[in-house]
Structure 1
Amino acid sequence: MANTWEQIVVDAEDPARLARWWAEALGYRIVNESADEVEIRRTPETLPGLLFGSCPDAKTVKNRLHLDLRPDDQEAEVERLVDMGARPVDIGQGDVSWVVLADPEGNEFCVLASKQSG
């Protein structure tokens, strides 16, 4: 049986707000939106997408799954994401080459060093 990776589902207190934040962060666009969920993708035809679904519960523990972003310029990208509302977080990562941030609802993600510098 063949499978296609369609999307990653992210629980969100405010799916529309968080989807728009991630769409701006990734350069994605909204491809589907309803009252309870919003899906973003690079293009409407490009998989996988990120689907933000409504969940009234606040995030309380470290994510078991997270995104790693690899920008051309780590420092500039971290600054841009923080200016957009991300915040640095310490999850016990120690002295590493990546930067751990949290999105506006507290979901951790990593900004890796560029391939050229790594």
Structure 2
Amino acid sequence: MSLEWEQVIVHSADPAALGQWWAEALGWVVVYSSADEFEIRPAPDRMPGIDFVRIDEPKKAKSRLHLDFRPDDQAAEVARFLAHGARRVDIGQGEQASWVVLADPEDNEFCILGERRPEND
């Protein structure tokens, strides 16, 4: 059996606006756009992607699924996302967490993890 992970679906009030925000934030490309759907990928033929799909009901609680990003420089990436319009959120992570929780323009949480530690040989 073969199984390939194709994409993550994000429900959105405005798929094009949120999808474009993420495309610019990640440096990804748009591979599909319609009134109700907006799909981005790292490159046109590279998966997985993120597919933003219209939903009319508003977000009601903490996201049950979110994206984690592992940067080379956590502080620089947090600053870059904040400058791009993300905002810091508290979902109960506490002040000692090694990751930073942010939210996109539609309040979807995502994390900027701490820098990767060198592996022991």
Quick one: distance in 1 between partners of 2:78 and 2:100? 8
The aligned runs of 1:1-118 (5 Å cut-off) are 1-94=1-94, 95-116=96-117
Shift of residue 116, structure 1, vs aligned partner: 4.2
Q: Secondary structure at the match of 1:110?
A: strand
Q: Secondary structure at the match of 1:62?
A: coil
Amino acid at match of 2:41: R
Amino acid at match of 1:114: E
Aligned-residue CA RMSD (Å): 1.4
Identity of aligned residues (%): 57
Q: Which stretches in structure 1 are left out of the alignment for 5+ residues?
A: none
Q: Secondary structure at the match of 2:3?
A: coil
TM-score computed with the length of structure 2 as normaliser: 0.92
Amino acid at match of 2:28: Y
Quick one: distance in 2 between partners of 1:79 and 1:52? 24
Quick one: distance in 2 between partners of 1:26 and 1:70? 12
Task: Kindly tell me the number of residue pairs found equivalent between the two proteins.
Answer: 118
For residues 51-110 of structure 1, give each alpha carbon's deviation from its aligned partner in whole angstroms, at most 9, with x where no partner exists: 000011111101111000111111111111011111000000012110000000000000
Q: Secondary structure at the match of 1:76?
A: helix
Q: Secondary structure at the match of 1:77?
A: helix
Quick one: distance in 2 between partners of 1:106 and 1:7? 20
Detail structure 1 runs of 4+ shifted over 4 Å in the superposition.
none
- Higher radius of gyration, 1 or 2: 2
